[in-house]
Amino acid sequence: MKSPSSLNTLKGLLPFLRPYVNQFYLAGLALIVAASATLAIPYAFRQMIDLGFSGQGSITHVDAAFIALFGVACILAVATAARFYMVSLLGERVTADIRSAVYEHVIEQSPEFFETTQTGEVLSRLTTDTTLIQTLVGTSISMALRNTLLFFGGLVMLFITSPKLSAIIIVALALVVLPIVFFGRRVRVLSRDSQDRIADASALAGEILNAMPIVQAYTQEPHEAARFKLSVENAFSTAMRRIRARSVLTVIAILLIFGAIVFVLWLGAHAVMDKRMSGGELSQFILYATIVAGAVGALSEVMGDVQRASGATERLMELLAAQSSITEPLAPQLLPPRSSNGATLNLSDVGFHYPSRPDTASLSHLSIAVAAGETVAVVGPSGAGKTTLFQLLLRFYDPQQGQIDIDGVNIRQLPLHDLRDTIGIVPQDTVIFSANAMENIRYGRIDATDAEVIQAAKMAAAHEFIEKLPEGYHSFLGERGVRLSGGQRQRISIARALLKNPALLLLDEATSALDAESERLVQGALETAMQGRTTLIIAHRLATVQRADRILVMDHGRIVETGTHASLVAQGGIYAQLAALQFQAT
């Protein structure tokens, strides 16, 4: 009765169910026992009626029939509870496993993935879609099995009770199946749509809630509210279409079934009046017919849930199937042991465009050699490709042309973990977690002691302000660090990178939000920190880079000038112009 495509989609769940086969068998056993008990009840009833009420049997017979009925009820109670327990447990367990697996997989995706997938959408899949699967595993599957058993068991018992009446019922049921299959398919498509619309709304809300200050500063609240409402209404109308299809499904199923039953009962009543059937037999027949009809009704309900869950599974499996464009090397190489000077870095003829901009090169013919222990500054106009260079060093993207070596090893040949372990980055946009200062810095090296964290904070000139926070290092910094100033956030970010003690330190506008005095402090601290490691510094403020061993000037994804501050000023190129502007202004 289920369309093959939805069953095929649900196969994706098998790997998650496999670890729990034993629970599955136990649940199945409880289910069979409960269904058998249910099927035994009408038979016991008939005995009661025929023996007890028509005065044919002895008192002991009647007592035995009542005791048997109660016994069956006890078995039914225990088996039903056991089935509920096992199956609900499975539902919760499998959902928890899927959530973790999807999350684990998603956070390994390269930035390219997150350029196209909105975080809110991932969140919606992790919460709403997994809930549907929980309903499926925790309720629907067992309901489907139980009702299938009841359906076939009841049917067999019907035939035993009265073959002629049963034959009529079968014909009617055949007529029911066709519309159910048709509407079932429709419900499945609509439920996937419906989940997609909900994900859209979550994605929108996620983005806007992260940008509240801007929304309010530009007084766009009504606009945003309207936008969200539109998105929610979209989800609503898709859901309504699903609900309508499912309502039609329910009406058709129940009407047809009960229509058939009433008709057959009418025939049965006549049979009893003509003495072709006993009253007990007819009662038995009615009860079995009710069981069969109830089973079909329940199956049509369950089918809606199955369709919804298969829509959800499809989306989750899509996430699980996403392949990161950054791949681990097949035959990984190891880095040579870390030298006391830091790492060497070599870029040869690197060309790169972002995947979303195939026609615009962000870097072209870039060749840079940096010796171990050297401090190299990268300057240049906005959009020159400076941050892009850092992204390639971390292998957030792979260049389409050329090669990057660290300590003489092509970074594509290094295990990603080893590569990123050698690099510490202070990104242009600081990232602060909603945790306290201690935890935020310790993110650089999870096993660092408190003393090491404090030392890193001192080196980043962050110690003083952290101490003044209400609870010192244990002060909560707010979501995304909203309780700190921009410059304070930057210093936390620098401390985090220094704590990691990387061989290659990348600073992307790391001190851009600091006042001249704090920058001088951090600068001094960084100079000590730069010893024993190779450092690349991106900066717009040239005062920051004057003391670098070498300055690379980038423009349009290329290196246009190199030299020291003095030699570049003497050359009279781009750098000299920038320097003239900046030092004149200050």
Ligand X SMILES: Nc1ncnc2c1ncn2[C@@H]1O[C@H](COP(=O)(O)OP(=O)(O)OP(=O)(O)O)[C@@H](O)[C@H]1O
Tokens of 186: 């429709």
Q: Is 387 near ligand X (CB under 6 A)?
A: yes
Closer CB to ligand X, 18 or 357, in the complex? 357
Shortest spacing between CB 353 and ligand X, in angstroms:
8
Shortest spacing between CB 244 and Mg ion, in angstroms:
52
Binding ligand X (rule: CB under 6 A), the pick from 385, 399, 424, 487 is 385
Q: Is 356 near ligand X (CB under 6 A)?
A: yes
Q: Give whole-number Cα distances, 543 to 42, 463, 497, 520, 578, in Å.
A: 92, 24, 22, 10, 11
Q: Is 388 near ligand X (CB under 6 A)?
A: yes
Shortest spacing between CB 350 and ligand X, in angstroms:
13
Binding ligand X (rule: CB under 6 A), the pick from 362, 375, 422, 430 is 362
Question: Applying CB under 6 A, which part among 88-96, 171-179, 378-386, 463-471 lies near ligand X?
Answer: 378-386
Torsion of CA 200, 202, 204, 205, to 10 degrees: 160
Binding ligand X (rule: CB under 6 A), the pick from 15, 71, 279, 383 is 383
Closer CB to ligand X, 111 or 332, in the complex? 111
Closer CB to Mg ion, 298 or 393, in the complex? 393
Shortest spacing between CB 364 and Mg ion, in angstroms:
17
Torsional sign, CA 475, 478, 482, 483: negative
Q: What's the CA gap between 240 and 238, in Å, rounded? A: 5
Closer CB to Mg ion, 283 or 387, in the complex? 387
Shortest spacing between CB 385 and Mg ion, in angstroms:
8
Binding partner of residue 9 among Mg ion, ligand X, none, CB under 5 to 8 Å per kind? none
Q: What's the CA gap between 242 and 290, in Å, rounded? A: 28
Torsional sign, CA 163, 164, 168, 169: negative
Kindly state the DSSP code that residue 336 receives in the 8-state scheme: P
Residue whose token pair is 């049509």: 300
Binding partner of residue 115 among ligand X, Mg ion, none, CB under 5 to 8 Å per kind? ligand X
Within 103-122, the residues that bind ligand X by CB under 6 A are 115
Are the beta carbons of 413 and 437 closer than 8 angstroms? no
Angle CA 116–537–358, to nearest 5 = 30
Q: Per-residue x/- marks for Mg ion, 426-445, CB under 5 A?
A: --x-----------------
Are the beta carbons of 370 and 344 closer than 8 angstroms? yes
CA proximity to 248, closest of 187, 310, 306: 187
CA proximity to 44, closest of 16, 20, 70: 70
Question: Applying CB under 5 A, which part among 94-102, 165-173, 309-317, 387-395 lies near Mg ion?
Answer: 387-395
β-pair type (375-379, 550-555): parallel
Closer CB to ligand X, 407 or 508, in the complex? 508
Binding partner of residue 408 among ligand X, Mg ion, none, CB under 5 to 8 Å per kind? none
CA proximity to 135, closest of 306, 319, 15: 306
Q: What's the CA gap between 284 and 157, in Å, rounded? A: 9
Binding partner of residue 356 among Mg ion, ligand X, none, CB under 5 to 8 Å per kind? ligand X
Give DSSP secondary structure letters for 168-208: HHHHHHHHHHHHHHHHHHHHHHHHHHHHHHHHHHHHHHHHH
Closer CB to Mg ion, 459 or 506, in the complex? 506
Count residues contacting Mg ion (CB under 5 A)?
2
Binding Mg ion (rule: CB under 5 A), the pick from 387, 534, 535, 544 is 387
Angle CA 522–525–526, to nearest 5 = 85
Question: Applying CB under 6 A, which part among 91-99, 377-385, 431-439, 456-464 lies near ligand X?
Answer: 377-385
Binding partner of residue 362 among Mg ion, ligand X, none, CB under 5 to 8 Å per kind? ligand X
Shortest spacing between CB 438 and Mg ion, in angstroms:
29
Angle CA 178–179–182, to nearest 5 = 90
Shortest spacing between CB 386 and ligand X, in angstroms:
3
Binding ligand X (rule: CB under 6 A), the pick from 275, 357, 417, 468 is 357
Q: Is 386 near ligand X (CB under 6 A)?
A: yes
Interface residues with Mg ion (CB under 5 A) are: 387, 428
Interface residues with ligand X (CB under 6 A) are: 115, 354, 356-357, 362, 382-388, 428
